[in-house]
Amino acid sequence: MDGPMTSMAAMRSFRRDATPAREIPKGTVRRILGVAGPYRRDLTFFLALVVLSAVIGVATPLLAGDIVNRIAGLTGTSGDIVRIALVIAGLALVDAGSSLAQRWYSSRIGEGVIYDLRARVFAHVQRMPVAFFTRTQTGALVSRLNNDVIGAQQAFTSTLSGVVSNVIGLVLTAGVMLTLSWQITLLSVVLVPLFVLPAKRIGARLQEITRESYGLNASMNATMTERFNVAGALLVKLFGRPEAEVESFRARAARVRDIGVLSAMYGRTFFTALTLVAALATALVYGLGGSLAFDGSLTPGAVVSLALLLSRLYGPLTALSNVRVDVMSAMVSFDRVFEVLDLAPMIDEAPDARPVPAGDRSVEFDHVSFSYPTAEQVSLASLEDLSLPEHGEPAEVLHDVSFRAEAGQLVALVGFSGAGKSTIANLVPRLYDVTAGAVRVGGVDVREATADSLRAAIGVVSQDAHLFHDTIRANLVYARPEATEDELWAALTGARIAALVASLPDGLETVVGDRGYRMSGGEKQRLAIARVLLKAPGVVILDEATAHLDSQSEVAVQKALDTALAGRTSLVIAHRLSTIRSADLILVLDEGRIVEQGTHDELLVRGGRYAELHSTQFTQGPVSPTAAPA
């Protein structure tokens, strides 16, 4: 069985895509060894078992040849033959046990490496800024956690064991064959190029079509990720594009199918060629060996041993001729994983970070300017399906913005779309870092605050509240896992949604669906408000929380917001100016600058931009979406 198994492993080596998209960085091997560090002991036992299997694989044909010699020469006794047969059986049992142990160690090492790398990549990605996720294609990132991690894992299982076992097997087999008959051994090796050279051409072609297959599969994976979520499915249905989507998917799937057929035929051709050359070599051994046996220069047992050993010669030779493909495949997989791990988060906690004071919940912008980061700063081209070069310097979207919201005050941000309101809201919880100036919460620069204290101090309700595909309870306790049942219902009551949840057949255990799409817009918003109430932050940011609601839902949500904002410092991005009449401070933004600030009455008296916005909404009715104040 060792011969066919080895040849199948060699055939699989041709199917791997080993061409890197970039040059493998120096030090990759050292980092790979670092990943293997926790498994040094397991690797030692694993390699020892591989060596044992290789030795048994060579010893068995020699014992079989000894039996043939004893039978042909009628030397010794039948008991001697039985004892040798028992030794062969014993070696088979040891080899079977060794194979099981190899599999156990292989799985332990491989699954351990997968666990370690996945955990590290997932934890690292969690530290990345929002800008990373706005550029990265989800399917490509998931592929790093699945395909590339598994490819890296194979370096410690199939690649490493294959190289070690093939080298040892080849050395032992060739050495033993030379001792039995150097003439037959050399003639057998002469036949190797008849197989290896065409096989390398097949391998090169297999690499090309496999690379194309990987790209198509990644593209289909990304398409399914986008089209199978609720928002993507709605977009396809609303714009009447399901037929075009199916055609596009079928075209790629058809090419993958054709590649699969072509790959299977290449693989079968490879295996057939190996079998054919092995059969020709076996015929050569029996023909030439038989002649030498008649001349008395070779024993019949040696002929049988050579024939059996021959099956263990071509497989390792072929596999080792493509060992670079195997090694490069593993190196590329590791490099793609390390590429993600090496992308340093733009936003990280300072070594000397301090907590936001519990008693001070003021928010201050001190001469803040901001430009969104470039792709090179936050992402990887290999994680973006469409990555185009960026020209020029990043455009500044906020210019010298300064204001202060005292603890307990409500500050409203108004202005046309693109004025910079959401950017200001994103800078407070440090989703981005300022380009110049400082943002302070409780008197502490957010860049110097501990991440935990900043998260605890700030709660956000956006216009499209996100809910996980889980129960209402799970979505609520995500804000505070230790919350009690009474606290959950108190938060729901404050958000004006307790009665609705109580009326549901499963109550808190009701599953809200993907992104909460089983709930209405107003219900989602009120659940998001309940989540913020449960968190009980000192600062609340409302990013157009009622922008897309009907009048009835808006009234319910507005009542819930009154509860959420009571006694808290609030930054409110206002879509309807009627909701911010009582604001302590209204900031009017235009092209990233504060052009007016004051109370509702003060700004109306001035007759400036705010008065213009107010007149547009309340005198002429709502303006078009492109010009509507956000």
CATH number of the domain encompassing residue 8: 1.20.1560.10
Same structural domain for residues 336 and 458?
Answer: no
| Per-residue pLDDT at 55 | 87
Question: Per this entry, what is the length of the chain?
Answer: 630
Shared domain for 314 and 368, answered yes or no, is: no
Beta strands in 319-446 (DSSP E): 363-371, 396-405, 410-414, 436-441, 444-445
- Select, from the ranges 163-172, 497-506, 508-517, the one with the highest average predicted confidence (pLDDT): 497-506
Q: Note whether 571 and 527 are same-domain residues.
A: yes
Q: Assess whether 204 and 275 both reside in one domain.
A: yes
Angle between helices 300-321 and 242-295 (to 10 degrees): 150
Per DSSP, what are the bridge partners of residue 410?
A: 570
- Residue 630, in any domain of the structure: no
Computed over every residue of the chain, the mean pLDDT equals 79
Is residue 309 domain-shared with residue 369, that is, in the same domain?
Answer: no
CA distances for 307 relative to 20, 199, 284, 289, 313, angstroms: 40, 23, 9, 9, 10
pLDDT digits (tens, 9 = 90+) for 386-422: 544 554 456 788 999 999 999 889 999 998 888 889 8
Residue 142 inside a domain? The answer is: yes
In this structure, are residues 533 and 563 in contact, taking their beta carbons and an 8 Å threshold? Answer: yes
Pairing label, strands 569-573, 539-543: parallel
Total number of domains in the chain: 2
Residue 40 counted as domain residue: yes
pLDDT tens per residue, range 223-236: 777 777 666 776 67
Can you tell me whether residue 511 is helix, strand or coil?
strand
In the prediction, which pLDDT does 515 show?
A: 66
Residues 184 and 106 sit within 8 Å (Cβ to Cβ):
no
Q: Is residue 421 part of a domain?
A: yes
CA 493, 498, 500: angle at the middle one, nearest 5? 150
Q: Tell me the helices (H) and strands (E) count for the chain, helix number first.
A: 24, 10
According to DSSP H, which parts of 18-77 are helical? 28-36, 40-73
Two tokens at 189? 């090796």
Question: Do the domain assignments include residue 369?
Answer: yes
Say if residue 189 is in the same domain as residue 73. yes
pLDDT (0 to 100) of residue 197 = 67
Q: Say which residue, 546 or 337, is predicted with more confidence.
A: 337
387 belongs to a structural domain: no
Exposed e or buried b for every residue in 278-307, given b needs 16+ CB within 10 A? Answer: beebbebbeebbeebbeeeebbbbbbbbbb
Q: What does DSSP say about strands 569-573 and 363-371: parallel, antiparallel, or unpaired?
A: unpaired
Indicate whether 330 pLDDT > 80: no
Tokens of residue 13, six digits: 């080596």
504 within a domain of the structure (yes/no)? yes
pLDDT of residue 343: 83
Domain harbouring 578, CATH code: 3.40.50.300
CB contact set of 572 (below 8 Å; sequence gap of 6+):
410, 411, 412, 413, 541, 542, 565, 579, 580, 583
Q: How far from 96 is each of 57, 331, 339, 441, 538, CA to CA, in Å?
A: 12, 31, 40, 66, 66
Question: What is the distance between the alpha carbons of residues 264 and 246, in angstroms, rounded to a whole number?
Answer: 26
Residues 409 and 302 in one domain: no
In this prediction, residue 9 has a pLDDT band, given cuts at 50, 70 and 90, of very low
Q: Read off the tokens for 122.
A: 């997932």
Range of the domain at 240: 2-341
